[in-house]
Each structure stands twice: as structure tokens, then as C-alpha cells.
Structure 1
Amino acid sequence: MASKKQLIVGLGNIGHEYADTRHNIGFMIADELAKQADASFSTLRYAYYTEYRQRGNSVYLIKPTTYMNLSGKAVNYWMHELKIPLQDVLVIVDEIALPFGKIRLRPKGSSAGHNGLKSIEALCGGQGYPRLRFGIGSDFPKGRQVDYVLSGFDDDELAELPALIDRSTQIINSFINIGVDLTMSQFNG
């Protein structure tokens, strides 16, 4: 497989008050990817940014600083800046439609009401980008979704989180090395 350029996007919100919330799982996984690659983030245009090489591939990792609802602004900027096509952008996103701990890689799909994904769709040319959906569950009363996604993980979930973040990085590293289809057949079982 020829070497590729890939943009990995961890979605979340900047600011201490959002640091360890369910909505920021994309930031947490991006932080772990950077740590494993011995890379550190710099604050650049619209994002915390770092880059590294993995098996000959160039990996560009961002955490948008635009807040979740404007994530597309950062993704669009870096896609064009780095000349990376939409299908080589992987977005890491929290997903209430999956139970906590379920992790699914998808080659494309709808935003399912997620404001970060809606913004990316609107500003980056549609739904044709892979996403890693990290299940955060949906244990909230009707009308309380915002409070739920902006809340921290409970104690049982926190105990499981390191292993789930590690599994997420394995899936992303596989995506970088062998692509979305082979990775899905290996991990989505």
C-alpha cells in the first residue's frame, strides 16, 4: 500500500469545564494517539495540531478549538491546508445511539443529530468521511441530552475508559495502516 496522508480529528470542546465529559471522548482519544506517537500538540489555526509518521504514512492529528458546533470550520481549513480528501479524514465522535463501550468504525454516514458532525457535513462536502463512533450510552431523561453529554463518566465507566481508549487507538492505527474496510472487518465484529 502506498504511503498516505490522513487527517485524524478528535471532536470535543475546549475549556477546563469540558475536559473529562462524554462529549470530549474525541479529545481524550486524540490525546492518547499523540502520547503513543510521542507527539505534542501546538495551538494553530482553529485547532490543537500535531503530526507524526506511522509506517510511512503521514498522520495529521487535530482537536478543533472552534467548539463542537463549529467543528467543520477547523476540519475544512486543515483538509485544504494539507490537501487531504474527505475520504482520508477520520473523525472521532461520541455517540449516544451506542451503549457505553461499543466502538464502531464506519466509512460514512449521517450526522444522526450530532452537531459536530452536522458542521463537518455542511462545511466539508457531505457525509463521505470515515468516523469512529464511541458509544457513550443514552441514560438520560427526555430533554436532558445536553446535560448528559456534557457530564462526566460515572465511576464504573471511568474504570473501563482506559481500555476503551486503548482499543480506539488500535482501531485508528489499523485504519491508518490498512484502511477502513479491512479495519472494519477486523474490529467491528
Structure 2
Amino acid sequence: MGKYSWLWVGLGNPGPKYRYTRHNFGFLVLDFFAQKKGLSFAPGPFQSEICPYKDVLLVKPQTFMNLSGEAVSPWVRKLYLKPEQVLVIHDDLDLPLGRIKFVPKGGAGGHRGVKSIIDALGTKDFPRLKLGIGRPAPGQEVKDYVLERFSTDEWPTVESILEKTSEALDFLLENGLLKTMSIYNRA
């Protein structure tokens, strides 16, 4: 076994323009987690920002969302990881804001960042931490909705989810995926 037993990949788009958007929820989670630990991200290889923590490498692909697999696949190879050691953290339209859900594997569900990783790894068999963002209002395009910043009214919920996911990620390290799912997937 190598130095790392986990690769935690937060999905988002690079640059300040996208920082607080719904589509960058994965980045927000990893930034919050690192900040709580007194750590910070630094530029790394494979078009990534990286942050080591214990036996986990936190990665924020800087490829733009739809090309996330281009950053993830080389890391998996370099670190000799199996797909089940790659946790992808991403926004999810099918869950309401305030809900998180760990899953052991699955399809892309229309999420192009997840699809890119599935295509690059050649498998759907990697765990996810899905972060609910809810659905757009009737008549609003999904792509516009996900690229909008969280509203002022939504921020208290977002902040509580950042706290909850940070706690859940620590729990995952100590207890594994199945136990984490049983505790944190409750509504």
C-alpha cells in the first residue's frame, strides 16, 4: 500500500468567478475541510490543486468541470489506488439543499464532471459524496442554475452542510464508507 489510502476529489470550476456557485460545492467542502485542519491547497501536477491530510490526498481539478477525469485518472495511476479509494464530492440536483448522501458507486446522473471521471477511469465503481443543491425554478436552465452563486438565504444551510461534511469526512477516515453511510445519509 502506498502513502495514500484515499483520494478525495472535490468537483468545481477554477477561478474566482465560480467560487461560490452551486457547481463548486465540491471545492467548497474541501476548502472548508482543509481550513478547519489548518491546511491549504497548493498547485500540483495533473492540472490540480492538492492538499495532503493524514493518508488522504485532497484534489481540486483545475480542468473545468466537464474535464475532471483528465486530472483524476493520472492521480489514481500515480498513487496506485483502486477506484473504491477515490471519493468524488459533487453537487447533486436530485437532493434538496441541506441533504448529503454517500454512495458506494453509480452512474453520472447527468453530472458531466462525474461522467468525465467515469470515462477516464473506465468504471462507475467509485464512491461519491453527493451534496444536495435542489432543482432550478420552472423555466430556468439547469446550466444557469448550477453556475449561479448560492443566495444569501441559502448560505446558513450551506455553512451547516460544510460543517456536517467536514465531520463526516473525519468519520469516514476512522470508520469506513458503510458505517459513514449509515450515520450521515439520514435526512
Q: Please report the RMSD computed on the Cα atoms of aligned residues, expressed in angstroms.
A: 1.4
Matched with 1:27 is 27
Matched with 2:41 is 41
Residue segments in structure 1 that go unaligned for 5+ positions in a row: none
C-alpha offsets along residues 62-110 of structure 1, whole Å, 9 cap, x if unaligned?
A: 0000110000111101111111111011011000011111111101111
Rounded to whole Å, the distance in 1 between the matches of 2:60 and 2:35 is 14
- Find out whether 1:77 has 2:74 as its counterpart: yes
Q: Pairwise mapping of residues 88-127 of structure 1 onto structure 2 (< 5 A)?
A: 88-127=85-124
1:125: Cα distance to partner?
2.3
- Return the TM-score normalized by structure 2: 0.93
Judged with a 3 Å threshold, the aligned counterparts in structure 2 of structure 1 residues 37 and 22 are, in CA distance, closer, same or farther, namely same
The code of the aligned residue for 1:159 comes to P
Q: Pairwise mapping of residues 1-189 of structure 1 onto structure 2 (< 5 A)?
A: 5-45=5-45, 46-53=47-54, 58-142=55-139, 144-189=141-186
Rounded to whole Å, the distance in 2 between the matches of 1:47 and 1:4 is 17
C-alpha offsets along residues 106-141 of structure 1, whole Å, 9 cap, x if unaligned?
A: 011110010000000000121111100000010333
Rounded to whole Å, the distance in 1 between the matches of 2:77 and 2:144 is 34
C-alpha offsets along residues 2-34 of structure 1, whole Å, 9 cap, x if unaligned?
A: x96100001000011101100001000000111
Residues 69-78 or 31-40, more deviating: 31-40
Rounded to whole Å, the distance in 1 between the matches of 2:40 and 2:152 is 29
1:47: Cα distance to partner?
0.5
Q: Which runs of 4+ in 1 moved over 2 A?
A: 139-143
Q: What is the number of residues matched between the two proteins? A: 183
1:143: Cα distance to partner?
5.9
Rounded to whole Å, the distance in 2 between the matches of 1:74 and 1:29 is 18
1:36: Cα distance to partner?
2.1
Rounded to whole Å, the distance in 1 between the matches of 2:88 and 2:139 is 27
The code of the aligned residue for 1:69 comes to N
Rounded to whole Å, the distance in 2 between the matches of 1:154 and 1:167 is 19
Residue segments in structure 2 that go unaligned for 5+ positions in a row: none
Contact 2:102–2:128 (CA under 8 A) maintained in structure 1:
yes
Rounded to whole Å, the distance in 2 between the matches of 1:160 and 1:135 is 11
SS in 1 for 2:39: coil
- Return the TM-score normalized by structure 1: 0.92
Residues 35-44 or 124-133, more deviating: 35-44
